[in-house]
Structure 1
Amino acid sequence: MSTELGRANVELGDIRAEVASQLEHLHWDVRHREVGVVTQTGDGVAHLRGLPSAGYGELVRTSSGVTGMIFDVRPEELGILFLDASESVSAGDEMHSLGRVASVAAGPELLGRVVDVLGRPLDGGQPIHSNEFLPMEREAPAVAERRPVRTPLQTGTKVIDSLLPIGQGQRELLLGDRSTGKTALALDAILAQRSSGVICVYAALGQRKSTVAEVVATLKRGGALDHTIVLSADADAPAGQQYLAPYAACSIAEYFMRAGRHSLIIYDSLTAHADIYRRISLLFERPPGREAYPPDVFYLHARLLERATRLRDDLGGGSLTALPIADTLGGNVAAYIPTNLISITDGQIILDSHLFNEGVRPAIDVGLSVSRVGGKAQPPILRELASDLRLVYSQLNELENFARFGAELEQEARARLERGRRVREAFKQVRLAPLTLLQEVGTLFAVREGYLDRIAVAEVSAFLSALCEELRAVPADVEASLYTDAHLSAETEGMLRTALKSVCGRRSERAHHES
């Protein structure tokens, strides 16, 4: 028995030695982890107690993986804005901080893709792997980092490029009633960048899924999806995604600007964004102001649109051009959100529902629209050819009103009226068919030289379509020179006259055969 007892003591000693040996390699420490407890939840938001070290904009997550952002900071509780579906979250659930602010994936890997605010693909494609993650909320470039807007951004829309030019780094508001062609103008601008090297970002805010799918299909048919990123926060997305969508899209576009590239971003629309911000603010019981919007709704869009600029050459020389879209009701441009955006941006393009119903497409009200950059960001040749057309276009309505009421017009006034009608017809353009700079120059050259005065108003559109088709065969180097030449060269003018003569000749032959 003593032998067995001795053997047991030896085994216990071996075990103690083994345990002691293992414990020598262990390092003990105390882990501190803050958690918060949900006290109330509903409608995509929650109230949380705890997390004393967390700050505004920080991401938090539940144990089940539902992500939210700290949107409201109060002495006793935090307001959480969910970025995922939050139906599974209930009072008593714990949330912990992720230790970082809301960020979005950025980089060339996103080109041609449709993603949500968190960078997850919505197009059924492969997951996106990016090494770059940028904060959604970033400070705008300082004044000293910016350079003046001088380089034109071709939109492919005749009336905009001629009378309301947009420059790289500018912020130009598209404003009008629903279904007046605002999105079509924005898509034309994206389609016009197919060969310009400009990266485009389209932010769909609060739209129907079918509308977003139609936009994507349009870009794909037009061959523009390869240089475009579509970020969608549709009407069914959580309120947090709809709120963060424009900031996430702006960070993606800023990535290319900081890399020395030129980018164009479309916000469609900031009216929907303001509405979702109003809804969120009311849920958090923030004091309402005019039209129930919170008092800081101006800052909501000011800090977003200030990020659009043109950087100095030593910082890469990249640019970010913003085309925000806003809706009006009954053409009331003096409403709260439209006036805020007008005061923030560098100009506005106003679309009129009456012009739209009369068949003037695009239905741009030239008299109320303005580009504060103006001719400084316009090719010199285009500026020269369009110098007097804005006045002619503006006088047209007044002259038509006189003629409509039976007033007898002098011969000079009748000539201005007829020319104005042809100018208006020349500026008409089918949607989703942007023109090249050469085609726009050819159109304005035909107007200036009086080629349209010889044909009926109803035939102007067909004549100019034939001219644009004729100019497609012109070498690309001819068009490249139009961006820098101060005046039409004799060679270019001769080429335009030859093209116009060819179109006029075919038109005369067709008229002869018909007679």
Structure 2
Amino acid sequence: MVTIRADEISNIIRERIEQYNREVKIVNTGTVLQVGDGIARIHGLDEVMAGELVEFEEGTIGIALNLESNNVGVVLMGDGLLIQEGSSVKATGRIAQIPVSEAYLGRVVNALAKPIDGRGEISASEFRLIESAAPGIISRRSVYEPLQTGLIAIDSMIPIGRGQRELIIGDRQTGKTAVATDTILNQQGAALAEYFMYRERHTLIIYDDLSKQAQAYRQMSLLLRRPPGREAYPGDVFYLHSRLLERAAKLSSSLGEGSMTALPIVETQSGDVSAYIPTNVISITDGQIFLSADLFNSGIRPAINVGISVSRVGSAAQIKAMKQVAGKLKLELAQFAELEAFAQFASDLDKATQNQLARGQRLRELLKQSQSAPLTVEEQIMTIYTGTNGYLDSLEVGQVRKFLVELRTYLKTTKPQFQEIISSTKTFTEEAEALLKEAIQEQMDRFILQEQA
């Protein structure tokens, strides 16, 4: 007969009790009711947050956007082809966020900050929320530093400052993206840009384009069964763009004076700037650069319509030297545009009007720039001064650009002091003006001799 040893049994039970792990893991799970068109309906996720990331059984990540009484509408962050009805979904407890770090500089990433340039993973120690609050009034300061785009037409007449939001608007195929990429070339994702802004750095973010984003948001909202409004856009489409663009800012001294400049792009249909999305974004931004299809087709590039383009920051975002030189450029171009329209109907014009038209044609010519050929501030000042003071009037319109290219080279090689004065004092001094006049006269004599030869 087997004897039962009570002490041995009690020891075994005691050991088991000591080894027992009391950790309780609570997982908020739900069940897929329906999936299709990039949207999944989930039942049972009772404690999910708006904007929370959820994980499906087969690994796909989604964002919970619609929190309804009996189900949750989730937008899928993948194709979701393997998700089946009845499969389980678990809440992650994390609001949609992306990793951020210095290692992102020089890399190409997708919307979730995953690298797509084939150069391996990016190490990140921090995370930032995709939807984060914009800096408050106390955290900001006025825009005062210029963001040089390298484009004469913008830097002289529609200046952009660090921390500003300037809309680039126009029909398709008018050079909107080219303006943005040229601005990038002249400089050395919102959450990523914010990360660097709060580290006392200057960042530039380009949204290309908000029209397509609004259409995608409309499609997503309709699939989520949200009530449509004007042009079938949801009621919060204005808030969608305003909360995105308000994150661009020039931070105060106490926060390090970092900045995030936003250049949103909006595509118009046949130049209609009064449509729903264009008017929304115009009202949110601090000015707009309007690109005209007619100007583009007539060979004026960048095709900026100076008449209806505006920067609400204005000359606060220009150095003093640029203000001194470019002050009358916009007025002269506006008067020229008016005269040009009038001259089409008038047969005989007086000498003064003919001279003004000739000057205007040459000013318009000096604003033309090739793509990916940004100019320094000193080169822009020299170019504008040469045009507005009548030095180009004696040249044929077709010779203007060639003369200016040669003048820039000549000034750089023979009068390097000019560039030093402008860059050090930020002012167009009498000494700088004398050097420039001398260089223009010398180059003009050389140019005329070359042309005659």
**TM-score interval (norm. to shorter):** over 0.9
- How far, CA to CA, are the matches of 1:482 and 1:266 in structure 2? 29
Q: Please list every run of 5 or more consecutive structure 2 residues that lacks an aligned counterpart in the other structure.
A: none
Relative to 1, partners in 2 of residues 1:301 and 1:471: Cα closer, same or farther, differing over 3 Å?
A: farther
Residue 408 of structure 1: CA displacement?
A: 1.9
SS of 2:165's partner is: coil
1:189 is aligned, of 172, 176, 183, to 183
Residues of 1 paired with 2:417 and 2:141: CA distance? 28
CA distance in 1, matches of 2:309, 2:388: 23
Equivalents in 1 of 2:426, 2:193: separation in Å? 32
The one-letter amino acid paired with 1:44 is G
In the alignment, is residue 342 of structure 1 matched against residue 282 of structure 2? yes
Change (3 A) 1:404 1:271: same
Q: CA deviation at 1:106?
A: 1.7
Q: Provide the identity percentage.
A: 43
Match of 2:324 among 384, 389, 394: 384
> SS of 1:407's equivalent?
coil
Instruction: Say if 1:475 and 1:90 are closer, same or farther in 2 by CA, change over 3 A.
Output: farther
Q: Classify 1:476/1:499 alpha carbon distance in 2 versus 1 (closer, same or farther; 3 Å).
A: closer
* SS at 2:393 equivalent: helix
AA aligned opposite 2:374: P
Matched, 1:405 2:345: yes
C-alpha displacement at 1:304, in angstroms?
A: 0.7
- Mapped to 2, the partners of 1:390 and 1:488 lie a distance apart of 19
String of CA shifts for 1:344-385, please: whole Å, max 9, x gaps.
000000000000000010111111111111111111111111
Which residue matches 1:260? 200
- The question of whether the paired residues in 2 share the 8 Å contact of 1:167 and 1:373 is answered with yes
d(CA) in 2 for partners of 1:131, 1:496 = 52
Matches within 5 A, 1:194-233: 194=188
Equivalent position amino acid for 2:392 in 1: L
**What letter is aligned with 2:161?**
G
CA distance in structure 1 between the partners assigned to 2:51 and 2:401 by the alignment? 53
Deviations 1:178-220 (A, max 9, x none): 01000000011111113xxxxxxxxxxxxxxxxxxxxxxxxxx
Instruction: Please point out which of 19, 41, 47 is paired with 1:25.
Output: 19
> Equivalents in 1 of 2:225, 2:420: separation in Å?
56
Q: Secondary structure at the match of 2:272?
A: coil
Pairwise mapping of residues 68-467 of structure 1 onto structure 2 (< 5 A)?
A: 68-194=62-188, 249-467=189-407
Q: Which runs of 5+ in 1 are unaligned?
A: 195-248
After TM superposition, give the deviation of residue 397 of structure 1 in Å: 2.4
SS of the aligned residue for 1:482 comes to helix
Distance change >3 Å, CA 503–CA 132, structure 1 → 2: farther
Distance 1:444 1:415, change over 3 A: same
CA contact (8 A) 2:33 2:85 kept: yes
Pair 475,264 (structure 1): closer, same or farther in 2 beyond 3 Å: farther
Provide the TM-score with structure 2 as the length reference: 0.95
- Partner SS state of residue 302, structure 1: helix
Structure 1 range deviating more: 172-181 or 408-417:
408-417
Look up the equivalent residue of 1:52 and give its one-letter code: D
2-structure distance, mates of 1:445, 1:106 = 45
Aligned residues: CA RMSD:
2.0
2:215 partner amino acid:
D
For 2:417 and 2:149, locate their aligned partners in 1 and report how far apart those are by CA, in whole Å: 20
Whole-angstrom CA distance in 2 between matches of 1:172 and 1:30 = 52
Query: How far has the Cα of 1:43 moved from its partner?
Result: 0.8
- Distance change in 2, residues 1:259/1:268 (3 Å): same
Q: With structure 1 as the length reference, what TM-score do the two structures score?
A: 0.84
Closer, same or farther in 2 for the Cα pair 1:476/1:135, shift >3 Å? farther
Question: Deviating runs (4+, > 6 A) in structure 1?
Answer: 474-477
Q: For residues 68 and 415 of structure 2, what CA distance do their matches in structure 1 show?
A: 65
Mapped contact 1:379–1:482 kept (Cα < 8 A): no
8 Å contact kept, 2:332–2:360: yes
Other structure's SS at 2:27 match: coil
1:492 to 414, 432, 443: 432
Write the deviation string for residues 18-47 of structure 1: whole angstroms up to 9, x where unpaired: 454243232335432220111111111111
Question: What is the alpha-carbon distance in structure 2 between the residues aligned to residue 470 and residue 85 of structure 1?
Answer: 58
Instruction: Say whether the 8 Å CA contact 2:418–2:436 is kept in structure 1.
Output: no
1:402 is matched by which residue type in structure 2? F
Letter in 2 for 1:285: R
Conservation of the 8 A alpha-carbon contact between 2:418 and 2:435: no
**In structure 1, which of residues 36, 41, 45 is the aligned counterpart of residue 35 of structure 2?**
41
Code of the aligned partner of 1:463 = F
Partners of 2:85 and 2:421 lie apart in 1 by: 67
Contact 1:257–1:318 at 8 Å: present in 2 too? yes
Moved more, 380-389 or 486-495: 486-495
Query: One-letter code of the match for 2:266?
Result: A
Alpha carbons of structure 1 residues 475 and 261: separation in structure 2 relative to 1, 3 Å:
farther
Deviation for aligned residue 1:114: 0.7
Deviates more, 1:68-77 or 1:84-93: 84-93
